[in-house]
Amino acid sequence: MRMRPTLSWTPPPDLPPGTTDLGPAAALLRAGGVVVLSGAGISTESGIPDYRGEGGSLSRHTPMAYQEFVGSAGARRRYWARSHLGWRTFSRARPNTGHRAVAAFERHGLLAGVITQNVDNLHQAAGSTEVVELHGSLGRVVCLTCGASTSRRELAQRLEHANQGFAPVAAAINPDGDADLTDDQAADFHVLPCTVCGGILKPDVVFFGEAVPPTRVEHCRALVREASALLVLGSSLTVMSGLRFVRQAAEAGTPVLIINRDPTRGDKYARTRIALPLGSALEAVARHLGVAVENRTTT
């Protein structure tokens, strides 16, 4: 039986309210040396839903857990059927104004780096180059046996050939690229092995219950240590994976500023939370700073 991960958080009544004043964000960025920590909320305007916002996917969807994936061939079949269908939509997503604004801040020398909790590669597609993918990327596939890494597009082509005619109607697409399918819809899906050793293939992302690689965590900690400020974009900070960097910054006296429409678990560590939609907020900050947000996408 699939158990829902403990991922909920209830805001306490004494949290300070959010503001709509973008001045603090502009001042933070103008000084330079800022590290961005982004979450699912920055990708919603690209058509990728978030986990916990209004209509968030956790209200109806339990993400795959690592132990379930490695321990059950049936779970892997369900996962790959759902993920293969979701990839058709997920891979067509394009960067939105928020991603492009972050890339523009980097081009103008205002950022020291970007830590993203997202697995959608949209920061890089918008032109950001100094990006740490905390939870990995759906664009890569890794073999759990031999460690071989391959392109998700290559695997998608193999899966298309092995599952010709597979076109069930999904109820929804989720932030992790997983489509909502019933077990019956996934029952006949053919899972493919590693072409190098025949081992089990897994998307190169951190599943729930799986640890972020320690070297990656330390890279992020080093970025936060050297940052002039930490700017959180579109994350509820419910899980420790991202919250630890907010706590680290606050403990060191590094300013933390959050742009997120809803309260977050990190609000008590932040100087302020700006409660505005991300795309328009970041575009307004860019205009204030005289930074051009270019409408371009890299591949």
Catalytic residue among 61, 135, 161, 219: 135
Q: Reduce the secondary structure of 172-193 to three states and give it as a string.
A: CECCCCCECCCHHHHCCCCCCC
- d(CA 296, CA 46) in angstroms, rounded, equals 14
Catalytic residue check, 61: no
Question: Long-range contacts: 238-246, Cβ < 8 Å, 24+?
Answer: 238/7, 238/8, 238/9, 238/52, 238/264, 238/265, 239/7, 241/117, 241/134, 241/135, 241/206, 241/212, 242/37, 242/39, 242/115, 242/117, 242/134, 245/37, 245/115, 245/220, 245/221, 246/37, 246/270
Strand 149-151 and strand 136-143: the pairing is antiparallel
Please compute, for residue 169, the number of CA atoms within 13 A of its CA located in the half-sphere on the CB side. Answer: 0
Angle at 14 between CA 20 and CA 233, to 5 degrees: 40
Q: Give 88's Cβ-side CA count (13 Å radius).
A: 15
Catalytic residues: 135
